[in-house]
Each structure stands twice: as C-alpha cells, then as structure tokens.
Amino acid sequence: MLAFVFWIAVYRAKTQTIGHDEALEYEWFLDGGVAHVLSYNPANHVLFTLLAKPIVWALGVSEFTLRLPSLLGAALYLFAGYLLSRKLFGDGVLLLFSLAMLCLNPQVADFMPAARGYILGLACLVVAMYAMARAVERGQFHPGDSEWRWGCAIASVSLALSVAASFTNVVPAACLVLTFSVAAMGGLRPFLKIADNRLQQFAKHFLVPGSVVGFCILWPFLIQWRLAPTTTNFDKASDALRDIFSASFLYKWTDDVFNSLGAVASAPGSWQERVTHLGEYVLLPGLFAFVTVGFFLAWRDDRAAPVVRAAACRVFAGAALGSILLIAVLHFATHIDYPFSRYCLFVIPLFTVGSLLAARQIHFDFPLRLMKVLGFIVVAIVISDYALSLQTRSFRYNAYDVISRDLFEAIANDASSRGLTNVRVGGTWWYEPEINFYRRRYKASWMLEFDIKDHSYWWQTPNSLVPADYNYFVFRPEGDPGLSGLRVRTIFRDDLRKITIVAIEK
C-alpha cells in the first residue's frame, strides 16, 4: 500500500499541470536571487524553498523538478507513518487501518506531490510523534537514559523543521511539547516543579536542540513577521469545520460530476450539502468528544499493565484536543481567523492516531463486542471514502489549473503560426503565475511577462497596457474586457472553468 501511494505521488508530480500556488512559490521565491528565498511571506514555506532552490538551479525548472522536495517529504511521511503505527499498534489489523487513514486521506495525497511545504511539515511532525512514542514506551524521563536523550533531541528538531515547513504547524508543535513533557515527567505535578533537576535536564535535551535549529532557519522570517496575513481565513468556526469535513470526506462528491472541479461548493438543498452539515454539526464534534473520553480514561488510568498504552493516548489524544482548543483561544484572544483545511493538515495525523488510541483505551475499559464491531464499520467507511477519492488529474483546491498548460500551449501555437515575437499577454490574475511559469519552463523568449490586467481584481501590473493593445488577452466572465470586431478572435475557451483567450490582430 505504501509503495502504491508513493507511486501515485510520483506519477502526479510528473504528469499534473502546475497549480496556482505552486507557480507562485516559484515566481515569488525561487525565480531570482537568494534574497527572494529569504523574503517573508506566509506563502513562503521556508523548508521547501530552501530545498527546492538548489534543485531547480542544478536541474532546471519543470513540474517534476519543482516537486522533488515534496516527494522527499512524501517518502519520509510514509516511512515515518509506518514506524509510528507499528510502534503504537503492533503488526495486527490496527497497523493496516492506521496506515490507510494516514496515507489515503485525499488532502494528504494531494500535497504529497504538490510543490509546497505541507507534506514536509507533516513528515517532520510524524517523525517527532514516532520519537515521542519510542520515548514514552520507556517510562518516565531519566537523564542517564541515552535513548530518552536521543528521543528528545530528534523530536525537538523534527518539530522545529515541521514549523519551518509550514508556520501553522506551530499549533500542533506547542501541544505536543506540552503533552509529551507532562508524560515524560510522570504527571502534571512533577511537570510544574520548575526547580526540579530532572525537569531542567529534560528541558535541556528537549527544548534546546529544536530552539537552536528553528532559530537558525527562521530568524530572517521572524524579524519580518506581522499579524495581518493571519486575518485572511474563516471568521466562524462552522466555516472551518465545513471546509475540513468536505476536503477529506466529500473530496469527489461536492459536485454532480465525479472528479470535477472538486472545490465547488455543494448546491443548496443537495444531498452533499446535507452530508456536509451532518459532518460539520455532528460527526466532527462527535469525534472530538470521542477522543476526549479516551483521553480522560487514559489520564485516570494508573494500572501498571496499560501504562505505555495510556501514556501514548495521553500524549497524542491530548495534543489533538489541545490543537483545536489552541486554535479557538488564538481566535478569541488575538482575533486570528480559523484556518482553511490545508492550513491545519496536522489534524489528520493527530486525530487519526488520537482517535485510534482513544478507541483502544475505551475498549480496554469497556470491552463490549458491539463497540468493537461499530469501530471496524466506521474505519471501513472512512478508508473506503478515502480510497474512492484517489485521482491523478488535479489538486482539489487548485482544480481549475488542470488547463493551465493548455492555456500556454494555445498561445504558443497561435503565436508560432503567425511568426510573432515580443508577444504581450495580459488578463486575469487567476492564470498569471501559471503562464509565467510555463514561459520559463519552456524558455519562451518570444513571450514577455504576463501582465495582470483585470478590472474585477484589486491589483494590476504597473505600466500594464489597455486590453486592446495586447497580442493575447486571458479572461473570466467577470473580467471580460469587451473586445470585439474583425481583429479579435477566440483561440481558447473552457466552459467549465469559464476561461477564454482572445487573439488581437495588429
């Protein structure tokens, strides 16, 4: 299964057209000098950018070379996920179930090949979780135990790299630091004894390595940080829950046509909308309550036999619950908006592992056969829905980019047939980075930089022309420049994505 999932990621990296966010990553941070790599922007996934810069410099830019760091992250995520699942669940059926839910989730599958830092962040997060699982298996922290010291250092550095790959991973990192520290000290009371030498030794081995690595990577970005970009997401928790649910469980069912644009909102009154409301108001809150029950059962479980099982549940179920609570606290305390689903991908590994550990803890305390059967049914439904969502055509939230290469080729073919040079192309912001990416990817010296010239958008390229002065104009209905006459002819139109290219004769 792991080999199959990785093969799909490689195939998608090789064949899929460039996505809007991927093209922006290249245009803003990689297509230029080192100063661009160090530019602060929430869209700059630092760890990805640092890895991608030498790769595209040495191998040249293409869809595949740009995505190579993500494939490295995908391989690490799959391998670390296997190690974590085997450590927590042994080699029985729970190993297969946990791996399937970690690896087949459609959002995770989307970002395995995508030229962004999300999968690198998840991979480092899962590596940290594996190091923590190995450590708590040995009982409480002991300064003389080399396995504990190495586990602390690996977990610490991995969490720092996870944040460097995607800034929003600071939420799960903070929660894992807290729950793991409490477990390492043997409870909340020992954790609060600041003067205790064992706690100080633990802090030295666990906090220092990650702090040093994180500071060395992120200091140019931290000194440029500002709060404004954190207010561009959802202002209501219900919107965030709806986005998270539909992105994982209605991946291919949000439109009437399978494998369509995918990110299109469910039609009012449709069965998809009703299922989304069920997930938003019942299923996801129910999952939170379920993990909460398992966490508190593990917290109060002081029997000797299940100490390792209970400790793992305390760490990972506690971190899963804490991440949601921390997001809510940040929203109310600092007015940071609730995140889009891709900004909180960490809920997938945290709640996958946390819910399975909670289920095992609940079954240990209440060993009812009916509950076990219901658990298997729920897991089977989740995995089936994930598996049915596997596809290799587009990224869900950038599904309109499936035609980005077609747009460039339509312009290239028409310009070649007319023998044009110094071709000026302008139009919608939707496809500006994609067309500019293909201009560089195919070394199209005959074409000048794409200009944003869209009266429906708040920004346009400085010194841009009026629409009629371009050789080609790319637009959506809301940005229709109203060009007509014998000099204007349509060379491309996609009715599903509402995109048109017109050639303007000079």
pLDDT tens digits for 126-167? 999 999 999 999 889 998 899 999 999 999 999 999 999 999
Tell me: the pLDDT tens digits for 93-105? Answer: 999 999 999 999 9
Q: Where in the chain is the domain with CATH 3.40.190?
A: 398-504
Query: Which secondary structure element, helix H or strand E, spans residue 197, and what is its range?
Result: helix 197-222
**What is the bridge-based pairing of β-strands 451-452 and 425-427?**
parallel
CB environment 416-432: b (16+ within 10 A), e (fewer): eeeebeebbbbbbbbbb
CA angle 475, 481, 483 (to 5 degrees): 110
Lowest mean pLDDT segment, chosen from 65-74, 208-217, 263-272, 473-482: 263-272
pLDDT at residue 404 tops 70: yes
Mean pLDDT of the chain: 90
Range in 42-51, 224-233, 411-420 the model is least confident about: 224-233
Minimum mean pLDDT among 12-16, 65-69, 191-195: which range? 191-195
Question: What is the pLDDT confidence band of residue 318, given thresholds at 50, 70 and 90?
Answer: very high
**470, pLDDT greater than 90:** yes
pLDDT number for residue 304 = 46
Are 476 and 498 contacting, i.e. CB atoms less than 8 angstroms apart?
yes
- Report the C-alpha gap between 80 and 130 in whole angstroms: 7
Q: For the structural domain made of 398-504, what CATH number should be given?
A: 3.40.190
pLDDT at site 36: 81
**What mean pLDDT is predicted for residues 197-207?**
93
pLDDT over threshold 70, residue 259: no
pLDDT confidence bin for 12, thresholds 50/70/90: very high
pLDDT, average across residues 160-185: 95
Which of helix, strand or coil describes residue 338? strand
Residue 402 has pLDDT above 50, yes or no: yes
pLDDT at 119: 98
340-352: average pLDDT? 94
Residue 211: strand, helix, or coil: helix
What does the pLDDT look like over 230-255, one tens digit per residue?
556 788 999 899 889 988 888 754 44
User: Would you say residue 53 has pLDDT above 60?
Assistant: yes
Overall residue count recorded for the chain in this entry = 506
Taking a C-beta distance cutoff of 8 angstroms, is the pair 382, 352 a contact?
A: no
Q: Is the pLDDT of residue 260 over 70?
A: no
CA distances from 163 to 24, 166, 210 (A): 20, 5, 10
Q: For 280, which DSSP code?
A: I
Measure the CA–CA gap between 506 and 503, rounded to whole angstroms. 10
> Is residue 305 pLDDT above 60, yes or no?
no
**Mapping DSSP to helix (H, G, I), strand (E, B) and coil, where does residue 43 land?**
coil
Pure H helices in 264-368: 271-278, 284-299, 307-334, 347-365
d(CA 446, CA 158): 45
The pLDDT of residue 152: 96
**Alpha-carbon gap, residue 97 to 229, rounded angstroms:** 37
Is the Cβ–Cβ distance between 454 and 479 less than 8 Å? yes
Q: Enter the pTM of the model.
A: 0.94
